Amino acid sequence: MANQKDTPNPPSLSPREIERFYTILSQTMPGRSQAAKGPKGQPNPFRTCLSCILSAQSLDRNTALATKALFKLARTPRTMLQLDVAEIATAIKPCGLYNVKAKNIHKFCAVLIDEFNGVVPQSRDQLMRLPGIGRKCADIVLQFAFGIDTIAVDTHVFRVCNRTGLAYGKTADRTADLLQQRTPSWAVPQAHFWLIQFGKTVCLSRSPRCPVCAVNGICQTYKQQVLG
């Protein structure tokens, strides 16, 4: 119902509204399950990084096929560099954009070895120095591989933040910066999971379920477009 296209951003949620927003999500959305092992269930930071690179603009099932094929060939930065880019591209073809991703994977491994002695760093800034790793990917690696609380902004979180007034940003990175500043500390460990589930089940892209949404009384877009 609520659609933000061509509509100026209404006022951002106030700190009090943000507290209420997260309180409601904590009561209505599942948080991180104990079974969650990270992107595509990868067992270590290196493989988590490559899985993130492969998942860009790819369906989960295609990413899984590409990831499985890639790690049959090599499982460490050094053994990955023994492959040429064409071999990597062939292995990851199911995930799409495979030529670009293959080049990024090769460069990623080279930089990881040259600058970090083959060890995946544990800071966002350093992770983003690695080819193919953007802000979202870095935050996912920090969360799942290192247990550092972050709020990765994917397409669902970006949509929720900009629709509701939780954090307006023209880009996912800007939204992530604002979201980090505006989220109360008690909510940070689970916020990523609550927001994703909310975006997948309620605040849908094309047909958001505004009339039955538990936070529609807080959502700025709903109040502007529906309640007037």
Specify the pLDDT at position 35: 44
Q: Is the pLDDT of residue 40 over 70?
A: no
Q: Is the pLDDT of residue 38 over 50?
A: no
* 42 contacts: CB under 8 Å, gap ≥ 6: 48, 50, 51, 67
Domains of the chain: residue spans and CATH: 15-33+153-227 (1.10.1670.10), 39-146 (1.10.340.30)
Specify the pLDDT at position 118: 95
Specify the pLDDT at position 8: 57
Q: What percent of the chain has pLDDT over 70?
A: 90
- Summarised one tens digit per residue, pLDDT across range 136-192 is 999 999 998 998 999 999 999 999 999 999 999 999 999 999 999 999 999 999 999
> Average pLDDT for residues 25-36, to the nearest whole number?
74
Which of 149, 154, 173, 177 does the annotation list as catalytic?
A: 154
pTM for the full model?
0.84
- Tell me whether residue 149 is one of the annotated catalytic residues: no
Which of 40, 101, 136, 139 does the annotation list as catalytic?
A: 136
- Tell me whether residue 125 is one of the annotated catalytic residues: no
